Amino acid sequence: MIITLTDTTSSQVASRLVVVREEGGVVALGRVLTLVVLARGRENVERAIAVTNVASREHPSRVIVINTGECGDDDGLDAEIRVGGDAGASEVVVLHPRGAAVADQDTLVTPLLLPDTPIVAFWVGATPGNPSAEPVGRMAQRRITDLISAITDTESSHAARESFAALARNYRPGDTDLSWARITTWRALIAAELDLTHTDLTSIDVYGAPDRPSMYLLGGWLRSRLGVPVHVHESSRIHITELALNFADGPVRFLRPEGSSVATIRRPGQPDQRTNLPPRTDTDCLMEELRRLDADETYASALAHAVRSL
């Protein structure tokens, strides 16, 4: 069910939400957090709602989506309340501020926050250079960016790397980017390989897209944990397609062709081994990041080492 409110206020939206809950028998006590999504434009608003609806089945939340991309000239606020099948296991409030109201994001969401629950901020379609300094970012215990969603077809790889460097430069505990969760399966596969008996590891090569932070984060994580040279190689692909662990007795290579969900592991003198390694969805990544609300020190260390490869 979608209820549309025009020329309204956040307090009026909160009051209407209480009425909708009471009339529909929706219980808010099971909500574990307030997820504030800042999405640029209607396309990103709908994309964010689709992702959070699925993620809410693991993390029941009140989702507040602020459309930051369509300001308009006059001052005011339009809103939508989505419950039931249009909101997954959450209740979704979509705010369309106009004019000066766009700058008052913290004021907009304050009447809608669930009491005594953590606040998580999630940016879609635009990535602030300093998330913790944003109005909603200052309120949040956890701040999740998605740099890939902010990369346009016309944006250069240099601009993308600059945005990534800004996240590293302005990092504060509680910050993270979905690119970190996108390499979780890669990290698990590499860790399993390093548990096997090998000669000394001498260096590592990573191949991926120059405008995607995942490649640099994976390289930064390996450099921070293993203390060996990590060489990042740019390719024309979208995802990480190859990684080589260079041991004294020969390299162990992980190969995943673009568009494939299967990786091939090639070890010296052994038959090739195939393993599942599908690219992770935005929903998978968001659910993983919502499982922890404390600072991710491993991400912080990987991020600090990653910018050395830019």
For residue 26, what pLDDT is reported?
A: 55
Q: What is the pLDDT of residues 167-216, one digit of tens each?
A: 999 999 999 999 999 999 999 999 999 998 788 999 999 999 888 899 99
- Which one-letter amino acid corresponds to residue 82? R
Who contacts 15 (Cβ-Cβ below 8 Å, separation ≥6)? none
Residue 125's CB is within 10 A of a number of other CB atoms, namely: 21
Q: Whole-angstrom Cα distance, residue 38 to residue 280?
A: 22
DSSP state of 239: S
- Which one-letter amino acid corresponds to residue 110? T
**Of 251, 196, 240, 250, residue with least CA distance to 218:** 240
**Are residues 156 and 177 in contact, defined by beta-carbon separation less than 8 angstroms?**
no
Q: What is the pLDDT of residues 24-79, one digit of tens each?
A: 655 555 678 999 999 999 999 999 999 999 898 888 889 999 999 866 678 899 99
Lateral strand order in the sheet of 201-208: 230-234, 201-208, 242-247, 250-255, 262-266, 273-276
pLDDT above 90 covers a percentage of the chain that reads 66
Q: What is the pLDDT of residues 105-158, one digit of tens each?
A: 999 999 999 888 999 999 999 889 999 999 999 999 999 999 988 876 545 667
Angle at 228 between CA 184 and CA 192, to 5 degrees: 35
For residue 89, what pLDDT is reported?
A: 61
pTM of the model: 0.92
